[in-house]
Homo-oligomer: A and B are copies of this chain.
């Protein structure tokens, strides 16, 4: 929960003067979101979301994120669309930060996702993968396997302070994944695995529902080009475990069935799913571990528990094949 940068009245009025949105009626900092400063902005024209991009987002990546949202929204996906200013820009600056005004989406994220939610999310993910196929820009996944080694190095020494034996387990896990992981997909890659634009962070708090209908997928600030099945593996981790740490195969089946209702997984993708599930668990374990070990005194964000993902990784380590996730072929 976070608002890192305050905007004063003159700055806000100055910013809005660049848009055709009328004058400001209300602007409230939002507690959700840990990377950027977010405001719910009401103007004479409607309600919007104002995001100020903070240090963890590279300014060079912003045109990709903003362009992708615009691309996907134009294709009819339920996702925020950037608002253009009078000169056509979708990115501006306020209070010394890059910023964007995007459309506001109704909906509440599901605190206790059920199998129905999982099916709907799988469907939306496949639609996103398909809609992204003709998006022209490229962004390497900075948090794929190439990015894990430096994270692991930064945390290894203190990993056992979080959980005894964690360091050795992480090293072993990384080595195993390193051997089996497919080459990073590029534009001209000859990888047999389908790849393209992935969301890479499709957690429950990034998917909004009105009742049981999906009303929006939000937060594209980890989106990148990578393997589709890896994105699905991230979602299996994020949606299909129970609070007690057990994998719920009914939810797994629902997620995958939702996905396959729009895009059928190839045999290669199915074969890779268990490895990708381990990789996805390791990726979130490593970033959470890093944040846990490097808490800033007085920070306004509570770090998430890395051990939740250690639990999940342990589940994936004992999986003997794709059937464990609910795939029946």
9-residue interface stretch from A5-13, A128-136, A195-203, A305-313 = A5-13
For residue A112, give the distance in angstroms from its CB to the closest CB of chain B. Answer: 6
B9 touches A110 (CB 8 A): yes
Asked, given contacts A1-B2, A300-B300, whether A108 binds B12 with beta carbons under 8 Å apart, the answer is yes
| Chain B residues closer than 8 Å to A88, beta-carbon distance | none
A319 interface residue per 8 A CB criterion: no
How many copies the complex holds: the figure is: 2
For residue A298, give the distance in angstroms from its CB to the closest CB of chain B. Answer: 6
CB < 8 Å: which of B24, B29, B106 contacts A32? B29
Minimum CB distance partner of A117 in chain B? B9
Minimum CB distance partner of A110 in chain B? B9
Give bound CA distance, A300 to B295, whole Å.
Answer: 13
Give bound CA distance, A6 to B112, whole Å.
Answer: 12
For residue A126, give the distance in angstroms from its CB to the closest CB of chain B. Answer: 24
CB < 8 Å: which of B40, B112, B300, B302 contacts A40? B40
Minimum CB distance partner of A39 in chain B? B31
A264 interface residue per 8 A CB criterion: no
Asked, given contacts A26-B108, A107-B25, A210-B25, whether A31 binds B9 with beta carbons under 8 Å apart, the answer is no
CB < 8 Å: which of B29, B208, B298 contacts A1? B29
Give bound CA distance, A288 to B6, whole Å.
Answer: 21
Besides A7-B111, A23-B210, A295-B298, 11 new A-B residue pairs in contact (Cβ under 8 A), listed by A number: A1-B2, A8-B111, A23-B211, A24-B108, A25-B107, A26-B104, A26-B106, A26-B107, A26-B208, A28-B32, A29-B30
